[in-house]
Amino acid sequence: MNMITQQLRGPYAPLIPWCLIIIALFAGLLLVHTIGLEGAEQRRAQLESEWMQARQRLTHLKEAKKARQDLVEVWSVLPFERDFAPLALGITEEAKRNRVTLPALSYKTEATPVAKTSKGILQGTMTGRYEDLRRFLYELETAEEWIIIEDLDLVRPASQHEQTLTFNIKISTFLRNEPGVVTVQ
């Protein structure tokens, strides 16, 4: 006890309370840092991780919604299977308007791996002048229906000076099996 009282009477005695205050403040700083700041940093990291996950989910949901809308749009363009024969007739009529002959256009349907759809295939030869054939193919490619020209092969002409060209053509489209509307949920 004597030593403490001697220290309190010494020349450095007024500094002792300030040292105790500094030590207490430093201890408080360490306490706030370990309890408050580290906890806040962990919470911030957790919230940031949750925010990134939520943002990814939102992105996936937006992509799924867009895919559903695209599916509805494509589905609405597909003709019904019962409309396939009139579609073939329409293609033949379009060929006539463009002065192209389709003498033996055959058509058939095939199953697809997609539910409630089938693939309609039109095959045959087409004959006409180059300009007429080009216009006809353009009309097919820009038609309102979804028509795909799968194959187009030139048949060798009998003579090099012949004005008409003959092509083997394969046209396809996808068909809906039954009437129905796809809805976006």
Task: Report d(CA 143, CA 173) in Å as an integer.
Answer: 12
88 and 4 housed in the same domain? no
65 and 107 housed in the same domain? no
90 and 24 housed in the same domain? no
Q: What is the pLDDT of residue 133?
A: 92
Query: For residue 185, is pLDDT > 60?
Result: no
- Cβ burial of 133 (10 Å; 0-12, 13-18, 19+) is buried
50, 77, 104 — which closes off a domain?
A: 77
The stretch 135-153 carries a mean pLDDT of 89
Task: Kindly give, in sequence order, each residue whose CB lies less than 8 Å from that of residue 170, ignoring residues fewer than 6 positions away.
Answer: 121, 122, 123, 149, 150, 151, 152
**181 band by pLDDT with thresholds 50, 70 and 90:** very low
11 and 46 housed in the same domain? yes
33 and 115 housed in the same domain? no
122 and 66 housed in the same domain? no
Query: For residue 54, is pLDDT > 90?
Result: yes
User: Percentage of the chain surpassing pLDDT 90?
Assistant: 35
Structural domain that includes position 44: 1-77
87 and 159 housed in the same domain? yes
Query: For residue 76, is pLDDT > 60?
Result: yes
Q: What is the pLDDT of residues 3-34, one digit of tens each?
A: 777 766 777 777 778 888 999 999 988 888 78
55 and 123 housed in the same domain? no
45 and 122 housed in the same domain? no
Structure tokens belonging to residue 173? 């489209």
71 and 152 housed in the same domain? no
Query: For residue 176, is pLDDT > 70?
Result: yes
Q: Would 15 be classed as within a structural domain?
A: yes
Q: What is the pLDDT of residue 2?
A: 74
Task: Kindly give, in sequence order, each residue whose CB lies less than 8 Å from that of residue 103, ignoring residues fewer than 6 positions away.
Answer: 124, 125, 127
Structural domain count, the chain: 2
